[in-house]
Structure 1
């Protein structure tokens, strides 16, 4: 089986060659990944050569517009969808908020219900819960307070009366990290007549989605956590996008990717997002025989990333599970989770992250906007959790360095 060439991978990220960032082993990837060189180069080129209103009748404007179009087309092909299905926005939180406003209008007066979970980051929970103010019933699919898992049987019970029109849930939680079976959950919801919105922010860094394979109606993730600029990306099915009321300018309602973009997008960052596709293609070209289908290239690279992460995080999980002075949240098996590892202590976690910083380890502590799952699992929010998050570019040496530092600090 092909394995990830870590020397090649790390050569694609300028941060590993900079004194300030290279001085620490980086375990704050869930907060934001390093950008790949392809993104940095495109962003620099746009700001130096194309920073004008795009699509105008002159060369710089034409070049800028073409790069924006390229980003949408390349990412769409990579994820197996049509270009108009991909919308950009300032963040996933903002994209989810706009989507919720469309759903608010869609369900107004319909005697309908929606389902949310208490496993989510607040961005994919709070905006949906506020729809209760419009008379829409909000039902909560609750996690197991010990494991943090979502049981599909619990969802089926919530859907039984046929009134649920939408289910919002995470691909994986940013603190529990268990990888939910998106396709199975979407099949349950679809059989009950409900649409599905998946928060992929905490999973997409570990492999860009194969949207048709997941079977959801909406998938949201953040470019700045997937080696790109600070943009939110939303993928939506064409039929659901057409069914929801438009939230952008009225004269743009006929364009699917503009229907849910009420404010002007950041042109330079959209153009730079093509660099994420450049990076996936570079990984594929380095590791595999040529492949014409961008979605097939993405799936192959996804597998490479996951295999590297599973191998890298396993020693950390084993080390933490063997200690009796902390609580490891989420699955113990690396194969069952994203490599985002949160632990709770009988004391405040932030001083521990600060001590690790002095040991050359970059990570953080707090609630990470995951207040609901932490409360449900009995974690003291005043103490928070220590979170150590890996990406595919995290080396075995980085993990060994983290374990040694934890030993000294704890």
Structure 2
């Protein structure tokens, strides 16, 4: 079953597209944070208006506040292909990975080994590397310096009988090549190695089926997937059981509280259910007669199909320009819709400023991927120009971006 995304319907679901202050602009910094859908905004506002109390208590408002929070787990879980009790919210993915690393610190011993990729955002790399202070051996899974690619054959040479954990991204926020997560996880599991997958740069382009990927930990940021500023991680129960408790000691037997030292943000957790409501609305609009039980794969395919031709058009427009170096593959089928470019004439920040004058919102810098840029021979300062979009980006937006690039960076 296939259909074309109704971009006009999609944009009615995002208040930003009706916001006067944003009129006349095209948003290409979605990798830094997407627009929020109206379902999330409505839930957040209503929660603050009438449910801003301690949840899960004995009075009506408290019971309902807790139910709203519980709905976030229950509604998002089917779109990720895991049971609700696998899901854990935290203030951000950076905070969540830090907590995971601290929990793992209690189980790792001097001489144990972990593998961390050079592709990683520092949040999923640095926190694991810091464990070397306790005598944990950190092995780098280096990228190919020209393409930025991670080679599973190289990984095979790094795994030893002392390897305990592997951290890597579903895709990089710079190179954007989609890594073969299922195959990498299988390679690690065969050696008894836990896997921690950073999906922040992937999830905005469609939630993955985590049952198929089989990772032990899978992390994403809700604020980059049309939701509130929360991090969400799916933890396999066996991995959670192995990790040390990071919550209050008297909550150690409550799985949902073990990885949240400060406690949850009640309102934002409750609002996160709005992302699932948005996906429901997308599915009902595009597939009104289809079985609701199979929404997740339909939405996944719908979003990807909407992005891919626009991504290919942008890649074709930038890949052979003398003033730019495209980082990552030039084939849209192999990457997410995040396009990082080395600017060979001028600075990325100057290009961003000039694009802004033409109504294009873009980003410049190292985007916390300093190690990756250095491995590819690029200076983190000034970094790269980054153009990123998601399914609500229109063909007209991409055309406008290409036209602006032609003016700002003539061939």
TM-score by length of 2: 0.97
CA distance in 1, matches of 2:229, 2:382: 29
CA distance in 1, matches of 2:22, 2:300: 26
CA distance in 2, matches of 1:76, 1:254: 22
Whether 2:235 is the aligned partner of 1:244: answer no
For residues 308-356 of structure 1, the C-alpha deviation after alignment (integer angstroms, 9 at most, x for no partner) is: 1111111110010121111000000011000000101123110110110
1:330 is matched with which residue? 328
For residues 346-384 of structure 1, the C-alpha deviation after alignment (integer angstroms, 9 at most, x for no partner) is: 231101101100110001111111101111111122221
User: Structure 1, unaligned stretches of length 5 or more?
Assistant: none
1:276 is matched with which residue? 275
Whether 2:122 is the aligned partner of 1:122: answer yes
Aligned partner of residue 5 in structure 2, secondary structure: coil
For residues 169-192 of structure 1, the C-alpha deviation after alignment (integer angstroms, 9 at most, x for no partner) is: 000000100000100000110111
Counterparts of residues 1-400 of structure 1 (less than 5 Å): 1-109=2-110, 111-159=111-159, 161-288=160-287, 289-293=289-293, 296-346=294-344, 347-400=346-399
Aligned partner of residue 130 in structure 2, secondary structure: helix
CA distance in 1, matches of 2:99, 2:333: 34
Would the alpha carbon gap of residues 244 and 129 (structure 1) be closer, same or farther in structure 2, given more than 3 Å must change?
Answer: same
CA distance in 2, matches of 1:381, 1:89: 28
Which segments of structure 1 move beyond 3 Å, counting only runs of 4 or more?
none
CA distance in 2, matches of 1:231, 1:387: 23
Shift, 1:255, TM fit: 1.7
User: Structure 2, unaligned stretches of length 5 or more?
Assistant: none
For residues 75-132 of structure 1, the C-alpha deviation after alignment (integer angstroms, 9 at most, x for no partner) is: 12321222221000000000000000011111134x3100001111100000000011
CA distance in 2, matches of 1:334, 1:78: 24
- The size of the alignment, in residue pairs, is 406
Name which of structure 1's ranges 237-246 and 397-406 shifts more when overlaid on structure 2: 237-246
Contact 1:84 1:255 in 2 (8 A): no
CA distance in 2, matches of 1:209, 1:240: 19
For residues 29-60 of structure 1, the C-alpha deviation after alignment (integer angstroms, 9 at most, x for no partner) is: 00000000100000010011101111222221
CA distance in 2, matches of 1:319, 1:203: 23
Provide the alpha-carbon RMSD of the alignment. 1.0
Contact 2:93 2:220 in 1 (8 A): yes
TM-score by length of 1: 0.97
Aligned partner of residue 273 in structure 1, secondary structure: helix
Contact 2:257 2:263 in 1 (8 A): no
Aligned partner of residue 233 in structure 2, secondary structure: strand
Shift, 1:22, TM fit: 2.9
CA distance in 1, matches of 2:208, 2:254: 23
CA distance in 2, matches of 1:8, 1:371: 39
Contact 1:115 1:168 in 2 (8 A): yes
Contact 2:338 2:389 in 1 (8 A): yes
Contact 2:282 2:299 in 1 (8 A): yes
CA distance in 2, matches of 1:383, 1:223: 28
